[in-house]
Structures are given as structure tokens and as C-alpha cells.
Amino acid sequence: MGGNRGVAYIGKGKVEIQEIDYPDLVLRDGPGVNPLNVGRKCEHGVILKVVTTNICGSDQHMVRGRTTAPEGLILGHEITGEIIECGRDVEFMQKGDLVSVPFNIACGRCRACKEQDTHICLNVNPDRPGSAYGYVDMGGWVGGQSEYVMVPYADFQLLRFPDKDQAMSKIRDLTMLSDIFPTGFHGAYSAGVSPGKSVYIAGAGPVGLAAAHSAQLLGASVVIVGDLIQERLDQAKSFGCETINLREHDDIGEQIEQILGTPEVDCAVDAVGFEASAHGAGGGEAPATVLNSIMQLTRAGGKLGIPGLYVTGDPGGVDEDAREGTLKIRLGLGWAKAHTFVTGQTPVMKYHRELMNSILSGRAEIAKAVNATIISLDQAPEGYQQFDGGASKKFVIDPHGMLK
């Protein structure tokens, strides 16, 4: 058995690199593992040598202490790797394959999976539908910000890259297929972005930037991105987006009117989630801000894509309601305007193959859009600090130094 190291959450605001167990094809007991999942055999799984694994804004929520994540949880759900061991029941994947791992863990057998709702698989998380690696209340599957990781249900889930050398030459883009690119695309697609439409993206973090690039791929006429951090807005501008600094302007409608000639857009995306802030100078945390603002800004009959994370438990919530995920949302406004809301985890497998082809053809340049920045595993704690400070970078961890 070999060694392994991974990024562990050790308390509010802190992660560290720890020696962890080398994976095998059984889900062992450990921090966050649901007791009903302990000892679960995974002969349908593989062991991956992790080639790249990314830091996600969802990880940051846990590290900030804004969830009920237990100390010692090994983080990381954005994984790309090389298969080095296959379980007995794996038929179609082989050692040496370079693959993208959807962050949703899905069995491929339940009703949800058969209906392509792999984000709400019914068999992998005893607590509720849906699961992910290295994430709170998601069943306890060990995270992939590590050197090696076990991935179950390999034949069903894994996306194999057709040419290994070509894939490594585009790995900065392809690493985004595990979560951020499909999530951004899902936000734009579910918001109804199509040729000629205008779209407002709330948030210029990596998911917001991915949603903006996806909106361009879908043919949007104008993509407007709003954020509180100018550095992130500058990144959105770098690939052709219009921007609004929400720290300087609290009336988004007025700013949109200056861009479009009307204070409304055809569709909108919430790429912020439950740690939203009020707009304007000195605005504090106000978790319903984005949801209410995009209802106000979106035309009647429009759609709202909501890939931003909302939780059922937030120890750091601004009030008792927020601590249990109850927010003061103007649902009556959305009802009156006949809005369509699409929420929840992204079903990555609905999109990842086509997005891979867009990358390999040169059509999609997602690494450029999100400012992919390569770091070593030992640099991960610093990456978390910079990301928490608002750096406009998508940190990509290279655990084995395989990227040139």
C-alpha cells in the first residue's frame, strides 16, 4: 500500500496538508462518513492518481465555517486523474485512462440516474438525494484534493479523454469539466440563454465567469456581470463581458438600462449563493439579495438559473432563519412575473461530454475565462487564503507536478 496526502479542513478558516490513508475499494469510516455508508464495497470503482484537482467556492463555504462540516474532512470534488487500479466489476475503463470525474456521485441504477438527474442519485447518500466527494452531509465519500482517490461506479460516471497527449496539452481547460464549467453552463442554459438574448450574471467568481463564458457560447447578445470586487470584474471584461461594480452602484436596474437601454434582461444567473452581500458601499451580508435582485431585473416570463449554493444549515447565518436556510425571498414578485426557477446541484453528466468536445475543438477557452492558476498540493492552504480574499483566480492543484 502506498502513501497519500490530502487537504484537510481543520477548523474555521484553516486547512492543512495531512498524511491520509491510501484509497481502496471500500468506503472506510472517517470524518463525515455516514454510518450507513461505512464498509460500503466498491468493486465497481477505480483508484485514480490525481492529475489535477481544483479549489471550489463550495469548498470555501466549509472552510469559512459556514456549514456543519466536521474537522478532519478531506476536501475536494473537482477531480481529473489517471486510472491506476480497476475494481473487479469495472468492464469498460482501463488502467492508464485519463478521465474527468463528475463531482456528483451517481450509481447509474436508480430512477433519478436513469432520468439523467445524476445530481440527485437516490443510492449514494443515506441522508438525502445527491452526493459529492469531500463535502458536508454528502455521504462521506473521501475528497480528491489529494494524491490518490477512489471513485465508485466508474463505468457509468467517468468521462474518458480520447487522446491522452492531446488532453494533457489542454488539461487546464479539461480540469474544469468536473464541476465549474458544467455548473456555469447549467446556470446559463437553465436560465434560457440562447442566441440574441441578454443575460445578467450575479457574481464574478469562477462559477460566474464560467456562466458568462457559457452564455457567450450559447449565443447571448450581451453578457452583463455584477460583483463587489473590481479585480473579478476586470477578469470578466477581459473576455468581452459588460460589468457592474455593485459596491459602487446599488441600483442595478439603472446600470443595466445604461447598457441595454432598458432596465431588464431576458434571463439571469445567480452564481453567488447564500453568502451574498447587500449592494452599495458598506453593505453587509444579506443572503436573499441576489435572488430578489434577479427577480427584479428579469423580464416577465424569463428564467432564473441558480447554481449558487444554498444550504439547510449555516452556523454563521445572519439570523435564526438564515441559520436554517430560510431566506426572505420575494416569491410573490417571481410569481407575478411568471418566472421559472432552476436550482440545485448541476447534473454534470448532462453536459460534460459536449463541453469536452468544445474544449478539444478550441471553441471553449474556459481556463482563460476563469484565470486558471496552477499550484502544488503544498500551496493549497495559501490558495484557499487568496481565494477567500477575492483573488480572481481558479486555483488548480497539481499534486504530482505533472503539468508543465
Query: Using CA atoms, how far apart are residues 351 and 367, in angstroms rounded to an integer?
Result: 17
Cell of 126: 443515506
β partners of residue 15: 9
Task: Render pLDDT for 61-99 as a digit per residue (tens, 0 to 9).
Answer: 999 999 999 999 999 999 999 999 999 999 999 999 999
**Do 5-179+347-397 and 180-343 agree at the fold level?**
no
What does the pLDDT read at residue 127?
93
What are the extents of the domains in the chain? Answer: 5-179+347-397, 180-343
**Strand, helix or coil for residue 158:** coil
Tell me the whole-structure pTM to 2 decimals: 0.96
Query: Using CA atoms, how far apart are residues 172 and 71, in angstroms rounded to an integer?
Result: 30
For residues 303 and 314, the answer to whether their CB atoms sit within 8 Å is: no
Please tell me the CATH code under which domain 180-343 is placed. 3.40.50.720
What does the pLDDT read at residue 250?
84
Q: Give the CATH fold of the 5-179+347-397 domain.
A: Quinone Oxidoreductase; Chain A, domain 1 (3.90.180)
What does the pLDDT read at residue 279?
92
Q: How many CB atoms lie within 10 A of CB 176?
A: 32
What does the pLDDT read at residue 281?
86
Q: How many CB atoms lie within 10 A of CB 237?
A: 14
Q: Which residues contact 263 (CB under 8 A, 6 or more apart)?
A: 253, 254, 256, 257, 297
Chunked into runs of 10 residues, the chain (404 residues) has average pLDDT values of 90 96 96 96 98 96 93 98 98 98 98 97 96 96 98 98 97 98 98 98 97 98 97 98 94 96 98 92 89 97 96 90 92 97 96 98 98 98 96 97 90
* Residue 219: exposure state from Cβ atoms within 10 A (0-12, 13-18, ≥19): exposed
What does the pLDDT read at residue 282?
81
What does the pLDDT read at residue 291?
96
CA atoms within 13 A on the CB side of 123: 15
Task: Render pLDDT for 176-227 as a digit per residue (tens, 0 to 9).
Answer: 999 999 999 999 999 999 999 999 999 999 999 999 999 999 999 999 999 9
